[in-house]
A and B are shown apart, each in its own frame.
Chain A
Amino acid sequence: MKKKNWKRDDLIVRCLADSYLPIALVLGFYVILHGNISPGGGFQGGVLAASGVLLLYLGYGFRGAATAVNMERMHKLEAVGALAYVFFAMLGIFAGYNFCRNILWNSGNIGDLWSAGTISLMNYSVGFKVLTGVGFLLLLIISLLSTGEDHEHDGTIPTTEHEEGGAAK
């Protein structure tokens, strides 16, 4: 018992988590947004932003993280991200080209943030999917570890598996 309380009452860890959380989120979103013109991209940025969940856990314990983030909704939003990816890829077929075709390819100047057409939209949806997916995955693993606390999700393993449908592209 002592061990569990130790984590939640440590002021220094909590303050650090508080101050690093915005940095992690901003860095993550920066990397997602600039995926089309700089190294990185949807997956890397998503993972960076999802590490915010871990910071929350370090600062506030599992219950703090689980109350700040709605697990069920994250799980569903992940599917939304994947569907968005497929939708943007499908736009190619709707426009009379092939699947995954970049139909807005001549928009913007080279080097601008908005210069990659549908590619950047696909990149954002991958980022969104990975952010929610990895966040959900981390929460799930944390909930598996914290046996003493009542975890509302029963931690079924199969739900960890929606990772690679869009991200692997």
Chain B
Amino acid sequence: MTYEIFKHFPVLAIMCYFVGAFIVTLAGKRRMLRNVVAGAVMLISLSLLLSLVVPVMVDGQIITYWMGNWEPVEGYAIGIAIEVDALSLFFGLLVAIAVALAGFYSFRYITQDDANGPFFTLFLMLSGGVMGIVLSGDLFNIYVMLEVMTFAAVGLTAFRSWNPNAREAAFKYLVVGSIGSTCVLLGTALVYAQCHTLNLAQISAMLPGNMNPTMVFAFAMLFTGFGCKSFMFPFQPIAADAHGAAPSSVSVLISGVFTKTGVYGIIRVSYFLFRTMGLTSMQTLLVFIGCVSMFVCVTMALNQHDFKRLLAFHSISQIGYILTALGLCSALGIAGGLYHAINHTLFKGLLFLTAGAVLYATGTTYLEKLGGLARKMPQTAALFMVGAFSISGIPPFNGFASKWMIYQATYEKAAETGSIGYALVTVVCVVTSVLTLASFIKVGQSVFFGQLPLEYENVKETPLSMRIPMWIMAALCFLTGLFPDLMVEYLLGPATAAVLDTARYIDAAMGAGYAEIVANSTAYLAEPVLVFAGTWDPVSWLLLFVIVMCAVTLVSLAGRRSRGALTLADDAKHATFFGGEEAEFSHVASGDLFWGFKHNLRGYLNFMSRAHSGITNDYVVWGVCAMAVITVYCFIFM
């Protein structure tokens, strides 16, 4: 027990955010004090979690912490536990990093808003709620923190009083989100009725193998509830609304952190509590939902005219990748999914922050109005390119590394099971990746390149305090993509092992040997050993890129000498044919790019557009239908 002091760190990391939120309220109108408190709190929490990396990730400890020293009595957990294994710490780190970067970005960013007093209170509440979910070892605490998080997120969505859409988005979010909360609470109640405990470890020792119809129903409810929080397929419209209305730094949290709690919940529920992922039917369900989310959302994104709404749909599309990878139930798939989760937080956060920078500088995110901003905001444009390359999986960046693992996992699964379905999944993944690139070409073309509208002649680059977090994110995008081996060794490997090795988690909480006494089988779902079909070697790829770049530069330099021979003026053609007018560029609007593609798919796109009708009741119908379908599916196939 050399790590005695570390056991307090998780609870302190959670409470830091809440204490910070309340002190910010006390600070009132003093902006400097507010910023100092918020910044300090975010850094303290991040460093507390970073100091846990060595004991948990490297040495493989599991920190169990009983609130008020109420330890289990006679094999029954009577207290509330905080339990941190590698999986929890993985998500906790991801949360802390995203929160810190988004928070530092928003110091400057929210000065534009009129009532920015409550911003950091809600921001820290949201962070604390998410941190509470990922570190908690108690099912009901997860529900409470889920509600705290949802409330803070709804409040932040409605925060911009000058944005006319904010209240509408917040209302829809609240109503549809309440379906998810209802499902989680119902599932929790049913699980309590069966097990008479709320401790995750004890439930996961008692439940698997003891499935009765009530537990199948409870599983379906918990699955749908956490799915709603991760905005998987039928819940995606509210995500799009919320992202469009919320301030950008909040979008980073909603897309990078909020949705991850849903993913975390799905992992906990289906790999830990019920251990149903071993069933082929459950794998099919999760993979199917992931594929549908990723495809539907990417096609919806192609159709959008608002920068942030487009990014929101892409965000859900990437969540689809994560769910697909997790549904494969192989070590490689889980590692790929977790890798993509952290990459998604980084590159999507970067993209939302660049969208925020554009909004800060120009006051709009409407794609048709923007253009040519690369000349005025070169750094933002460069950062956007980094983000766009990452999300569409261009090699040196992190998106490629994780997508590569996911592709590998899918066709390994296809080879293993011999089913054509998983090969199809690989195809869907690749097609989605291509469509992602297409729509980011559209965004880049209509925001940063092309013609600069007259009204944005005086646009300035964003302030330094906003650019630093973006550069850090870009650097992280690059680094996590460059060193996949280190990522696997120190973060993904332990986390994947933690996902698959439930028995250790149970023993750490309830005392050694508990899992074997109570549990019916401690068998693994899959071997917790990562075997790669073939790793990608970033260094040689980088070398290749450097060589190609050198060659291109050489060729272009060599060609320069002959350019002097061209004596015609630039506009000679126009002088001949048009009587000497200035050449005039016409900006290709975002709606016109890919019009042929969209025209051919107009039936599907119009249908999807009509389906996202904006009426709250319709979204509720989708949610309830998803709940019903998943329940029926679980009852038939489990």
Are A and B associated in one complex?
A: yes
Evaluate contact between B151 and A98: CB separation under 8 angstroms.
no
Evaluate contact between B25 and A78: CB separation under 8 angstroms.
yes
Interface residue ranges of B319-368 to A (CB < 8 Å): none
Cα A119 to Cα B117 in complex, Å, equals 32
Contacts A86-B15, A98-B69, A101-B68 given; does A161 touch B22 at CB 8 Å: no
Interface residue ranges of A106-137 to B (CB < 8 Å): none
What are 8 A-to-B residue pairs whose CB atoms are below 8 Å?
A78-B25, A79-B25, A83-B23, A86-B22, A99-B65, A158-B118, A162-B21, A162-B125
Evaluate contact between B22 and A82: CB separation under 8 angstroms.
yes
User: A72: nearest residue on chain B (CB-CB)?
Assistant: B28
B483 at the interface (CB under 8 A from A): no
Interface residue ranges of B13-34 to A (CB < 8 Å): 15, 18-19, 21-23, 25-26, 28
Which one, B154-162, B423-431, B615-623, is touching chain A? B154-162
Pick the contact of A86 from B19, B28, B115 — CB < 8 Å?
A: B19
Q: Which of B22, B128, B152 has the most CB of A within 10 A?
A: B22
Evaluate contact between B148 and A92: CB separation under 8 angstroms.
no
Q: What 1/0 mask marks residues of chain A from 143 to 154 whose CB sits below 8 Å from any chain B CB?
A: 000000000001
In the complex, what residues of A have CB within 8 A of residue B128's CB? 165
Interface residue ranges of A44-91 to B (CB < 8 Å): 72, 75-76, 78-80, 82-83, 86, 89-90
Cα A75 to Cα B122 in complex, Å, equals 14
B542 at the interface (CB under 8 A from A): no
On chain B, the number of residues with a Cβ less than 8 Å from chain A's Cβ atoms is: 36
Evaluate contact between A158 and B11: CB separation under 8 angstroms.
no
User: B158: nearest residue on chain A (CB-CB)?
Assistant: A157
Q: What 1/0 mask marks residues of chain B from 273 to 285 whose CB sits below 8 Å from any chain A CB?
A: 0000000000000
In angstroms, how far is the closest chain B Cβ from the Cβ of A51? 23
Q: What 1/0 mask marks residues of chain B from 235 to 270 whose CB sits below 8 Å from any chain A CB?
A: 000000000000000000000000000000000000
In angstroms, how far is the closest chain A Cβ from the Cβ of B395? 42
Pick the contact of B158 from A158, A163, A168 — CB < 8 Å?
A: A158
Interface residue ranges of B102-125 to A (CB < 8 Å): 115, 117-119, 121-122, 125
Contacts A82-B22, A164-B147 given; does A156 touch B118 at CB 8 Å: yes
A159 at the interface (CB under 8 A from B): yes
Cα A37 to Cα B151 in complex, Å, equals 32
Evaluate contact between B68 and A83: CB separation under 8 angstroms.
no
B394 at the interface (CB under 8 A from A): no
Pick the contact of A154 from B115, B155, B167 — CB < 8 Å?
A: B115
Secondary structure call for the A interface: helix
In the complex, what residues of B have CB within 8 A of residue A97's CB? 68-69
Interface residue ranges of B31-71 to A (CB < 8 Å): 65-69
Q: Which of B21, B25, B67, B151 has the most CB of A within 10 A?
A: B25
In angstroms, how far is the closest chain B Cβ from the Cβ of A8? 30
Evaluate contact between A165 and B68: CB separation under 8 angstroms.
no
Contacts A82-B18, A98-B65, A99-B8 given; does A161 touch B25 at CB 8 Å: no
Cα A79 to Cα B67 in complex, Å, equals 23
Evaluate contact between A165 and B22: CB separation under 8 angstroms.
yes
Cα A168 to Cα B141 in complex, Å, equals 9
Evaluate contact between A93 and B8: CB separation under 8 angstroms.
yes
Contacts A156-B118, A161-B155, A164-B148 given; does A83 touch B19 at CB 8 Å: yes
User: A77: nearest residue on chain B (CB-CB)?
Assistant: B26
A36 at the interface (CB under 8 A from B): no
Pick the contact of B144 from A75, A161, A164 — CB < 8 Å?
A: A164
Pick the contact of B125 from A75, A89, A101, A165 — CB < 8 Å?
A: A165
